[in-house]
Chains A and B, each alone.
Chain A
Amino acid sequence: MTNTLHRYGNERNLSNDFIVFAIPCRGYNDKDSVPKLKRFLRTATKYNPVNLGDGSHGGAYRPSKNLNPTAHWSRKSEPDFETVIEGVNTPTTVAAVFDNIKAVEEFVAELQKEDLGLSINISALIDRAQECCDGVGIARHSVEYSLGFMGQTDRLADRQVMELSTMCGHGMISFNFARKMIDWVKEGRRTPEQACNYFSRFCSCGIFNPTRAKEILEEARRRNS
């Protein structure tokens, strides 16, 4: 999931942002991987993830194609983990998002015992991932470092927009929509929770972290970036 690699932010607001994902390797261990992927997701639910996702079918927050007009006043906003787990029917990347290191450590410790045989990665601050590894007694196998953005960086948005938008590395949360939601929260037209629900529905891999997004929006409400 390179889509999680280049999340923009500072050490403070990235320190509790963790994506743990499982990926089968085509031609090596993808055959019969579906039950293992479901097992990964099922195990994750024990540790209170803030989002779950299946790269082929979507995350725990999904758009609805048959809303009725009452949705403008009352709309379902809870994550639906069961739909994600039941929906896995093909080898794919599955992910669980957490907002605290303790949950990640416990989850990884259980994955170690489960011995699924799939590649498991933590996408987070490198030091925090190292902390998890130390906590459960794992030596890192490989690491990929985000070296950030080069080229015409003046085409990028401001800090808060970048922080929100890059939480979907596939670019499904546009700069304009992130800016619009920041403005709406500042104007009191939506709460940060409501804005987070909108964002989450666009992230089709389920790797958006609503807890972190809420903090960013709360901060944006109080002051400019």
Chain B
Amino acid sequence: MIIDPKKCVACGNCVAVCPMGAIHIDPEKKRATVNQDECVECYTCFRGMSTERLNPTMVRTIRKIGSWLRWRFDPEPDVCPTAAITEQELAWPRIVRRAFSDPVVPHESTGVHGRGTEEVKTNDVTNRVGQDDAGFTVEFGRPTVGVRFWQIQEMTTALARMGIEFEKRNPVTSLMADTKTGEIRSDILNEKILSAIVEFKTTLNNAPAVLQKIKEVAKTLDTVVAVGAAARCDEQGENRLEELLLREGFTFNRGKTNLGLGRPSVDIAQARATIG
């Protein structure tokens, strides 16, 4: 993202809005400036802020007079008065920043928006996570801290050494150079993104060791890691993972509950029955 210096009036509204804190008012130029290395192309400023299309010279003059008189104008804090925030064309590898940071852009690998994962949200349709499994989502950089791919790689390689098989329908997996080792393409390792999710499942028996490893590696990374653990329930709606997590010392109160109302469409179900 860039801010057009011809239009910017240095109102500062975009400074607080940026999740990465990548925007500041340059004291020399008196214009908002984006630190391109820190910007993750999340489009929060461009899309989230409303815009007026006021004349920049007029706004600067009014602001100058107000400032000289020590008047405080109280403008709407989510508005760019001169529509100065400008998209730039993104080329590889920078384009992965937007793919992982702008929730409105669907991931090519999965067709899903946001971080591009379905986890157990569609488990009633796919039955990906069974009753003897534990599904994991390990999310990096959230909330609003950000992460570089080389940091994610620290975790994926450690998990791969444990024999973890990464979910194929996942955007991070699609960017791995080798899914067996967990290594990520070298040309994107230094790209910074808002967040990304590594997704995999393992057996319930293996879950404590995996959780231990995640905790251990997370401690070494200069970012935050948010972990989700998922289970398939039995006919009574109970599962064994909950007890296991409590035994391992985890406390939790929030989650996502799949109600089991989904099913494959008729043609897909018939096709699968024929193949099966």
| B37: interface (CB < 8 Å) | no
20 residue pairs of the A-B complex, CB under 8 angstroms, read A1-B114, A25-B122, A29-B264, A63-B49, A67-B76, A117-B263, A126-B254, A138-B261, A142-B123, A142-B257, A142-B258, A143-B256, A143-B257, A144-B229, A144-B255, A145-B255, A151-B221, A156-B145, A156-B224, A172-B44
Write out the residue numbers on chain B whose beta carbons fall within 8 Å of the beta carbon of A176.
Answer: 15-18, 21
Write out the residue numbers on chain B whose beta carbons fall within 8 Å of the beta carbon of A165.
Answer: 143-144
B211, chain A: closest CB distance, angstroms: 8
A75–B76 CB distance below 8 A: yes
B252–A147 CB distance below 8 A: yes
Q: Which of A147, A165, A180 has the most chain B CB atoms closer than 10 A to its own CB?
A: A147
| B245: interface (CB < 8 Å) | yes
Interface-lining segment among B28-36, B89-97, B235-243: B235-243
Write out the residue numbers on chain A whose beta carbons fall within 8 Å of the beta carbon of B233.
Answer: 139-143
| A101: interface (CB < 8 Å) | no
Write out the residue numbers on chain A whose beta carbons fall within 8 Å of the beta carbon of B145.
Answer: 152, 155-156
B119–A198 CB distance below 8 A: no
Within 8 A of B (CB), among A111-154: 111-112, 115-127, 129-130, 133, 138-153
Minimal Cβ-Cβ distance residue in B for A162 = B143
Write out the residue numbers on chain B whose beta carbons fall within 8 Å of the beta carbon of A31.
Answer: 265, 267
Write out the residue numbers on chain B whose beta carbons fall within 8 Å of the beta carbon of A169.
Answer: 142-143
Cα(A8)–Cα(B254), bound, Å: 9
B124–A6 CB distance below 8 A: no
Interface-lining segment among A42-50, A80-88, A199-207, A216-224: A199-207
Cα(A170)–Cα(B101), bound, Å: 8
| B87: interface (CB < 8 Å) | no
Interface of B is mostly: loop
Interface-lining segment among B103-111, B158-166, B172-180, B184-192: B103-111
Q: Which of A93, A148, A165, A175 has the most chain B CB atoms closer than 10 A to its own CB?
A: A148
Query: Which of B236, B254, B265 is within 8 Å of A7, CB to CB?
Result: B254
Write out the residue numbers on chain B whose beta carbons fall within 8 Å of the beta carbon of A21.
Answer: 121
| B232: interface (CB < 8 Å) | yes
Number of interface residues of B (CB under 8 A): 99
A149–B226 CB distance below 8 A: yes
A65–B144 CB distance below 8 A: no
Contacts A152-B222, A189-B74 known; A14 to B260 CB distance under 8 Å?
no
Minimal Cβ-Cβ distance residue in A for B74 = A189
Known contacts A6-B254, A55-B113, A165-B143, then 19 further A-B pairs from the complex at CB < 8 Å, ordered by chain A residue: A14-B254, A25-B122, A57-B104, A65-B50, A68-B52, A92-B113, A93-B114, A119-B125, A119-B262, A123-B256, A139-B235, A142-B129, A145-B231, A145-B252, A149-B225, A171-B101, A180-B16, A201-B48, A204-B48
A104, chain B: closest CB distance, angstroms: 11
B252–A25 CB distance below 8 A: no
Task: Enumerate the 8 nearest inter-chain pairs by beta-carbon distance, A residue then B residue, closest first.
Answer: A141-B260, A119-B262, A139-B237, A144-B230, A140-B237, A151-B218, A25-B122, A150-B218
| A213: interface (CB < 8 Å) | no
Cα(A189)–Cα(B72), bound, Å: 11
Cα(A69)–Cα(B145), bound, Å: 34
Write out the residue numbers on chain A whose beta carbons fall within 8 Å of the beta carbon of B211.
Answer: 147
Residue-wise, chain A 8-22 has the 8 Å CB interface mask toward B (1 for contact) of 100100100000010
